[in-house]
Chain A
């Protein structure tokens, strides 16, 4: 009997291969509808200084009402200490030991700092966190994170918010091949459903995105498009693509060709 083809995150079975962010939407109503349309089961959130209590509470109520699993992030952190502190605060507020660990090394392209990321990952795993590190597409970094105990890795497709797609599909492909038993999610840089489809075609288990939907002209429709794209990409990966060839090969049988090719 065929088992259900689920995404696995730290032992939990997830039915959707699209993880969605909750930021940058034109309105709370559009956010809610977009999240619903995506079919996602996991939504990313963060923590910031309490400003207007009422506004923050409205947002949180809305997210809680979706009933989705929460993935808090440490967006904006530039040091190990900041990221570890914020992760602990997230664990208390959101009552989850999942953390999307973001540790920025460069303000210009928001590139993750690989060295600080390893250090923070070790501290958090030792403290019982289930770390989902947002990392670059460097094989050795991914191997080190995996060795520290990360069951999920989230290499970037392109810098956050650029919408450029998979800038280095070779690296991503190699990471997939070398870490066959690790859950791999492309996080950041996707702009089009075709980018998400490519990631899934490469064998990535899921994609995490926000701006591509929230920043679209019609976020709800784009959300549906991404939902279809990850499904298409996954089917394509499971189906195993035909081998690429350099020379043309006819698809119509050549045997029994009619008169115009006869001598």
Chain B
């Protein structure tokens, strides 16, 4: 039981962060607006959670210009994908 709880990642305790990771794991990349629409959160809220995921190196950011407008693409890093899968597996076995 102790081991299972250790696998639960503190970085994913928050719902928004969990949602961000879920969306990025199944997509090559998503831009800020698609993430916002998908999760139904405010700009500031999303930005701060993205920042914290970026800090723990679970999410990588690429800034580009699309027709002179800045466009930011977010994708999950390999590390982030592994951590996310581990977290989900821990929840699943916790429920069994």
A and B bound? Answer: no
Which residues from chain A sit less than 8 Å from chain B, CB to CB? Answer: none
Give B residues with C-beta under 8 Å from A: none
